[in-house]
């Protein structure tokens, strides 16, 4: 675990008493808003051709932010835009402010052909949000912008079990999905990687084996099956909501 990262792991019970729920937003609505916001991050990120690590960093920042702040006070689309903006700087994939503003406005309006003059009200509104919320976000996440993600562990595991193309595809999709839920606040990235592979093998009905006929491939990352299954449940849950 990275230094300082410990404060960003929670227990399942903690999600019933977040700042948003103290502000009257039900835990169910919060879960839904988190999923919607992460889909928004994903769409804006793809439109700006950001790497998957930038997108993943933005999602984790978003989830961390709302463990300390309320959705009543900071709108989740505005914060989602801010997270992608901040993540893009952290991952050195910076784009012009103008491009980020346009991508946010287009995806929020669900209209990719939307054109905005740089002095239009909508453009300035998004621009001001990004500038103003950047500070608030950075403070809430304690300026910790270097975040480990499941992808590198997944790549290790896929190689270890010599996964088929189909298993690979599903495993990646499950890791992508995991960012929509609280998973990154509950489990360390290597656990999420193993859970994604575990689910992918199930969906594809394939038995995975490592070298020397090692059937307990999760042990390659020093994990126990119960941990992996528990995390897999949490990753799957997001499918029930969105």
Half-sphere exposure at residue 30, Cβ-oriented, CA atoms within 13 angstroms: 25
Tell me the closest approach of the beta carbon of residue 236 to ligand NAG, in angstroms: 16
Residue 41 or residue 228: which is nearer to ligand NAG going by CB? Answer: 41
Residue 124 or residue 173: which is nearer to ligand NAG going by CB? Answer: 173
123 binds ligand NAG (CB under 6 A): no
Residue 77 or residue 172: which is nearer to ligand NAG going by CB? Answer: 172
Contact string 43-62 vs ligand NAG (x = CB under 6 A): ---------x--x-------
Residue 52 or residue 123: which is nearer to ligand NAG going by CB? Answer: 52
176 binds ligand NAG (CB under 6 A): yes
- Taking the CA atoms of 8, 13, 15 and 20 in sequence, report the sign of the dihedral they define: negative
Half-sphere exposure at residue 75, Cβ-oriented, CA atoms within 13 angstroms: 10
- Residues in CB range of 61: below 8 A, 6 or more apart: 83, 86, 87, 137, 141, 145, 147
**What is residue 74's three-state secondary structure?**
coil
- CB–CB of 220/210 below 8 Å? yes
173 binds ligand NAG (CB under 6 A): yes
What's the Cα-to-Cα distance from 114 to each of 7, 39, 107, 155, 223, rounded to whole Å? 40, 19, 9, 38, 48
169 binds ligand NAG (CB under 6 A): yes
Tell me the closest approach of the beta carbon of residue 102 to ligand NAG, in angstroms: 20
- CB–CB of 137/61 below 8 Å? yes
Interface stretch with ligand NAG, choices 77-85, 152-160, 166-174, 217-225 (CB under 6 A): 166-174
Tell me the closest approach of the beta carbon of residue 42 to ligand NAG, in angstroms: 6
Give 92-143 as a DSSP string. Answer: T----HHHHHHHHHHHHHT-TT----TTSHHHHHHHHHHHHHHHHHHHHTTT
Q: Applying CB under 6 A, which of residues 40, 160, 172, 187 lies at the interface with ligand NAG? A: 172
Tell me the closest approach of the beta carbon of residue 239 to ligand NAG, in angstroms: 14
Residue 15 or residue 172: which is nearer to ligand NAG going by CB? Answer: 172
Residue 22 or residue 166: which is nearer to ligand NAG going by CB? Answer: 166
List interacting residues with ligand NAG (CB under 6 A): 52, 55, 169, 172-173, 176
């Amino acid at each position: 675990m990275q230094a300082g990262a410990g404060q960003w792991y929670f227990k399942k019970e903690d999600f019933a008493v977040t700042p948003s729920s103290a502000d009257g937003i039900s835990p169910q609505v919060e879960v839904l808003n988190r999923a919607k916001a992460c889909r928004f991050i994903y769409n804006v990120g793809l439109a700006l051709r950001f790497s998957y690590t930038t997108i993943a960093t933005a999602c984790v920042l978003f989830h961390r932010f709302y463990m300390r702040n309320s959705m009543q006070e900071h709108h989740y689309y505005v914060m989602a835009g801010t997270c992608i903006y901040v993540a893009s700087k952290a991952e050195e994939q910076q784009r012009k402010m103008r491009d980020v503003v346009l991508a946010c406005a287009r995806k929020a309006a669900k209209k990719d052909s939307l054109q905005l003059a740089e002095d239009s009200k909508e453009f300035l509104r998004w621009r001001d949000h990004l500038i103003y919320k950047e500070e608030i976000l950075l403070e809430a996440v304690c300026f910790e912008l270097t975040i480990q993600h499941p992808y590198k562990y997944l790549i290790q595991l896929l190689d270890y079990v010599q996964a088929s193309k189909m298993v690979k595809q599903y495993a990646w999709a499950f890791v992508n999905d995991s960012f929509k839920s609280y998973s990154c606040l509950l489990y360390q990235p290597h656990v999420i990687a193993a859970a994604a592979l575990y689910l992918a093998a199930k969906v594809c009905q394939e038995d995975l084996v490592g070298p020397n006929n090692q059937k307990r491939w999760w042990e390659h990352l020093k994990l126990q099956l119960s941990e992996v299954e528990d995390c897999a449940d949490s990753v799957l849950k997001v499918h029930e909501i969105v």
